[in-house]
Amino acid sequence: MFELDRFIEDCIQARKEDESHIAVREVVAEAVTHQTSVMKALGEPGEAGFKPLYQSDDLTILNFTWAPLMTLMPHNHNAWAVIGIYSGREDNIFWRKTDNRIEAAGAKSLMPGSASALGRDIIHSVTNPTEKLTSAIHVYGGDFFAPGRSEWDPETLQQRAYDIDKTRRIFAQANARFALGNSAE
């Protein structure tokens, strides 16, 4: 059974015991095996977005919901991350830096009940390839909202400063498309 307060405390304790992502990944992996319970505790998603569940200098826990067919440009976190999917599917493309841009270096699909860790220096883009909302718990080994992160233009693959307001607009635009698609039914 998933209990949000207990999950947060378990993540905090795991982070204290192990500065790497390993212990936190175990906590997240266990949590997302209880998909129905997680959905009940966090609420049935109705739109795309991200909601902070916990935030400190060394740990951030977010509840992410991706709109159908939504893609978020390549970005980094400047911290390790653990992603646990509890509904839908999340496809990650991993990128590596070249002289003046990035190039694709691999990919991984995450399904409900799966948890995956990303290293501190990973650059990835995220896509929900399904026509349903995808929901995930993301845990970061730092402050997700701290300055200093980067994103890469999806067309030119040129690096620029990460813009959280732009990310919020991308989610809002995805919600508008999702609402239009749902009103056609």
Q: What is the pLDDT of residues 70-119, one digit of tens each?
A: 999 999 999 999 999 999 999 999 999 998 899 999 999 999 999 999 99
Q: Report the alpha-carbon distance of residue 119 to residue 142 in Å, rounded.
A: 12
Spell out the CATH class of 4-168. mainly beta
Strand runs labelled E in 98-169: 102-110, 115-118, 123-127, 134-140, 150-152, 159-161
Report pTM: 0.93
Supply the pLDDT for residue 108. 97
Low-confidence stretches of the chain (pLDDT < 50) are 184-185
Q: Tell me the pLDDT tens digit for each residue of 88-98.
A: 999 999 999 99
Two tokens, residue 72: 């978020």
Q: What is the pLDDT of residue 183?
A: 53
pLDDT at 182: 62
Residue 80 φ then ψ, to 5°: -70, 160
